Amino acid sequence: MEPLLSLKSVSKSYDDLNILDDIDIDIESGYFYTLLGPSGCGKTTILKLIAGFEYPDSGEVIYQNKPIGSLPPNKRKVNTVFQDYALFPHLNVYDNIAFGLKLKNYQKSKLIKK
C-alpha cells in the first residue's frame, strides 16, 4: 500500500543551522502518528513543511502520490491544528478539528468519522 504522506530525503536549514538532514518519513492512512523529540530537533519544522508554511531546501513532500512541496498552504489538502492552545481557544478539541472540515461541507457522519 502506498503511504498517504511521505517526506523523501527532506532537508531544511535556517541560516547556517541544519535542522533536518535527509529525513525520510512514510505515513499510512488510518494510523495515528506522533513526532517525539527534544526541543529544537525539527518536529515543528516537519509540520510546517507538510502544511506549506515552510519549504524544504531539498527533497520532496508527497501527498497521495503527488509532490506538494512547492505548493502554497491553501493548495494543500492537509489541515493543521496549532500546538499553542488551538485555532479557537474557546472551542474543544473536536470543534477545532471539525472547523476546517465543516468549511469543506463534510456531512456530519463523515465529519465524526474523520
Q: Is residue 84 scored above 70 in pLDDT?
A: no
Question: Which domains are seen in the chain, by residue range?
Answer: 1-76 (3.40.50.300), 81-114 (no CATH)
62 bridge partner residues: 6, 67
Name residue 79's amino acid: N
Q: Is residue 20 scored above 60 in pLDDT?
A: yes
**Beta strands at 5-14 and 58-63: parallel, antiparallel or unpaired:** antiparallel
Q: Is residue 85 scored above 70 in pLDDT?
A: no
**Residue for cell digits 474543544?**
92
pLDDT digits (tens, 9 = 90+) for 25-77: 999 999 888 888 877 889 989 999 999 999 999 999 999 999 999 999 989 98
85 bridge partner residues: none
**Residue for cell digits 512541496?**
69
The x, y and z cell numbers of residue 76, run together, are: 494543500
* Sequence-ordered strand ranges (E) for the chain: 5-14, 17-27, 58-63, 66-67
